[in-house]
Chains A and B, each alone.
Chain A
Amino acid sequence: MIEKIKSISKVQWLAVALIVIGVAIMIPKAMGMVEFYKESRYAAEYDFSAGNLSPDLIRPWMSIRYIAVAYAVPQIYLYDAVGIEPHPETSMLSLNRLNQQMELGQVDGQPALMKTVREAILAYRADPVVTGLLEQEAHDWMTVLYISNSTGVPVETIFAGIGLPVEGNAHKPLGFLSETTNYSGGTKALVAAVQKVLDAQGVEPSNP
């Protein structure tokens, strides 16, 4: 056995080392990709488009904007709850990244910010507050319910203004809604129609 090991050349040792290093790199990365597959199916698995989501479904990769739209809670309200100055640029950062920036640590093995956001969603549902839209205007990634909750304009008023039925559409982002309803003029026209309703209702730009 020792003789056999001694007979292994340097290039063979190098080959074995490369194979071991390659496998050591690939295994954790493959596990990460499997995890991605699970997470990418998360929204579909729990039917986020149906609305009325449990706050327990919040995940570390979700951004404030994503949560705000999925749970129809105004972004400004969430920002106030987590204690961050509201800015469009931070609305796209994941909870995990924000949690690291704020050095909040972990609670029950999860970023502490997740707990704060969950509590904020429950508090909002118990006592909804109109804050205005952080972006000051309608965008294609917003749902009608999110716009309604942020501006105080009733969902029914918005749907009446854009000429679409409320049923099954309130939780769909405007871009997706225009596709599923073949809205005349496409997403841009739908966003403009929603903005027209908001303007007609005298919605003032928020001042975060």
Chain B
Amino acid sequence: MSIDISSLVLNWMATYGSPMVAGLLYLGGLGLPLPGTLLVIASGAFIRQSMLDAVSTPILGYLGTIAGDSSLYAIGFFASGWIERRFGQTAAWKSAHALFERRGGIAIFLTRWLLTAIAFPITLIAGSSGYRFRKFFTFVLLGEFTWFAIYGGLGYAFGSQWELISDFISDFSGFALGAVVFGGGIYLLVKFGKKPTSNPDPIQE
């Protein structure tokens, strides 16, 4: 019998309960390739089916996720010295740093629950770019709460049909990521499309 990672973590969480959910979500927050969204949906469904505790599971899971995000931020923060030495003097790094300080909040919030595929680099950038921890933590609290409320709620609502909603959320999240990439392309085309000769090429800056 072959076991894929998703099935393995589902079996663990059903067997060991809410502490395992918290542990797995902590590791997911740290950036390990675990199916975090699947876990949250399944947690909601398993609570509905009386397989997980309805009080301790969301509380411990939420705390585990936030602890994972904060730990990854700390890794980025303490590695910032090396990153700063390597890239800190470049215009691109300074520009990205300034941009993240202005718009980082929305990026942190959205990557907690909608664009989860890029949560790992965004958290590392937040830590390494000196983004204030208090702001980071606030957006993490809000984003992860949204993640638990929406996905856990859907899992709870769909009960034993949770694998159906899990596929949908995977598609929805992928679609949203595609839309962001598409929107980025449109933005660049509108901004730089009309004056290719007069405007210096920003890539070469």
On whether the two chains bind one another, the answer is: yes
In the complex the two chains form, is B48's CB within 8 Å of A141's CB? yes
Q: How far is the CB of A23 from chain B (nearest CB, A)?
A: 6
CB neighbours (8 Å) of B192 from chain A are: 9, 11-12, 15
Q: A11-B192, A61-B163 are in contact. Are A25 and B14 (CB under 8 A)?
A: no
Stretch in B3-11, B98-106, B123-131, B132-140 touching the partner: B3-11
A39 to B165, CA, bound (A): 10
Q: At the interface, yes or no: A94 with Cβ under 8 Å from chain B?
A: yes
CA distance A16 to B190 in the complex (A): 11
Closest residue of chain B to A7 (Cβ to Cβ) is B196
Is the Cβ of B11 less than 8 Å from the Cβ of A89?
yes
Q: Which chain A residues numbered 85 to 124 have a C-beta less than 8 Å away from chain B?
A: 88-90, 92-94, 96-97, 100-103
Asked whether any CB of chain B lies closer than 8 Å to the CB of A14, the reply is yes
Question: In the bound complex, how far is the Cα of B205 from the Cα of A10, in angstroms?
Answer: 12
B15 near A89: Cβ-Cβ < 8 Å: yes
What is the number of residues of chain A that contact chain B, defined by CB distance less than 8 Å? 50
Please name the residue on chain B nearest to A8 by beta carbon.
Answer: B196
Residue on B nearest A68 in the bound complex, by CB: B160
> Count the A-B residue pairs with Cβ separation under 8 angstroms: how many?
153
Residues of B within 8 A of A (CB-CB), count:
53
CB-defined contacts of B186 to chain A, threshold 8 Å? 15, 19
Contacts of A1-41 to chain B: CB distance below 8 A:
7-12, 14-26, 28-30, 32-33, 36, 39-40
Residues of B within 8 A of A103 (CB): 1-2
The reply to whether B185 and A40 contact each other, CB–CB distance below 8 Å, is no
Cα–Cα distance between A140 and B54 once the two chains are bound (Å): 14
Q: Are B51 and A92 in contact (CB under 8 A)?
A: yes
Also in contact, A36 and B168, with CB within 8 A (given A7-B196, A26-B175, A97-B6): yes
Chain B interface mostly helix, strand, loop or mixed?
helix
A139 at the interface (CB under 8 A from B): yes
- Complex Cα distance, B180 from A29, in Å, reads 14
Q: Which residue of A lies closest to B203 (CB)?
A: A10
B189 touching A25, Cβ below 8 Å: no
Main secondary structure of the interface of A (DSSP, over half): helix
Pairwise interchain contact A33-B49, C-beta atoms closer than 8 A: no
Q: Does B50 contact A (CB under 8 A)?
A: yes
The interface residues of chain A lying within 8 Å CB-to-CB of B202 are 11
B84 within 8 A of A: no
How far is it, in angstroms, between the C-alpha of A168 and the C-alpha of B185 when the chains are bound? 56
Tell me if B168 and A96 are in contact (CB < 8 A): no
Nearest Cβ on chain A to B192's Cβ, whole angstroms: 5
Q: Which of B74-96 contact A (CB under 8 A)?
A: none
Across chains A and B, which 4 residue pairs bring their CB atoms closest together, nearest first? Answer: A22-B182, A25-B178, A18-B185, A89-B14
Q: List 22 A-B contacts (CB under 8 A).
A: A9-B196, A10-B204, A11-B188, A18-B182, A21-B181, A22-B179, A22-B183, A22-B185, A25-B174, A26-B182, A32-B167, A32-B174, A33-B168, A33-B172, A39-B164, A61-B163, A63-B163, A92-B162, A94-B163, A101-B7, A102-B1, A135-B50
Contacts A36-B167, A92-B160 aside, 8 further interface pairs with beta carbons under 8 A come to A18-B181, A20-B185, A25-B177, A26-B178, A28-B174, A32-B170, A65-B49, A92-B10
